[in-house]
Amino acid sequence: MKTFLFVALGGAVGASARYAVGMLVLHFSGGQFPWGTLVVNVVGSFLLGVLTACLTFSWSPSVELRVFLVVGVLGGFTTFSAFSLDVLLFTERGRSDLSAIYVIGTLVLSVGGLFAGLRLTRAILT
């Protein structure tokens, strides 16, 4: 039960951060493209890479702290469901071009963010 509560608390933190970033990006982008969702997924992937490297090379937190950060915070921060809805909306609006760019861009940048975070942190820690 304690682990479950850590996940829930982390999820609240991550979801709140996602909302804040989304609103900030929307303010600056004008809302014609789902930049907020793209940003949180790429940044979240990068942070997962950093965290993975830290957990592998230099840090051994409790199970509760690990699930708080990975499942809770980062799981609440990134948002695949919103991404999926954005793809659907582009497609329904007849913008298959933007839908494809968004899918490919999100995949490449998010996976790239994970690798970049992992490699950067490994280089710093080792």
> What ranges do the domains of the chain cover?
2-125
Q: How many CB atoms lie within 10 A of CB 119?
A: 13
Question: What does pTM read for this prediction?
Answer: 0.82
Q: Residue 118 in 3-state DSSP?
A: helix
Backbone angles phi, psi at 22, to 5 degrees: -60, -45
Whose tokens are 């793809």? That residue is 87
pLDDT tens track for 53-96: 999 899 999 999 999 999 999 999 998 878 988 999 999 999 99
Instruction: Give the pLDDT mean for 30-56.
Output: 92
For the chain, the distance separating the N- and C-terminal CA atoms, rounded to the nearest angstrom, is 36
